[in-house]
Structure 1
Amino acid sequence: MGALRGKLTFSRFFVLGDLPDNLAGTSMKRIRAAASQPLVPEEDENERHG
């Protein structure tokens, strides 16, 4: 609901220098590695973050 009520902000980033050849693939690998995963009852972990 934050986009419909209250303030909305955004950030803009710029890259200096040459971009890697496979920017989309590399970025998606890093995003998936840092993404939250649901807890599974069979695992020993009590918490997760991402």
Structure 2
Amino acid sequence: MIAGIFFGFAFGAGGIAAAALGASADITSIEHVFWLCSFLPLAGLFTVFLPDM
């Protein structure tokens, strides 16, 4: 059940993010969206600063 919740959340968040990036590409340009997406791996690097449980 927990795995289903996580997969559902991941696919739902991905769908919402894809729609948001598409809307952003319509407003600005696809180059701007590519530039914006190039900074997304930094979010993964910042997980080093999460508290250790």
| TM-score between both structures, scaled by the size of structure 2 | 0.34
Greater RCO structure (CA 8 Å; 6+ sep)? 1
Larger Rg: 1
| TM-score between both structures, scaled by the size of structure 1 | 0.34
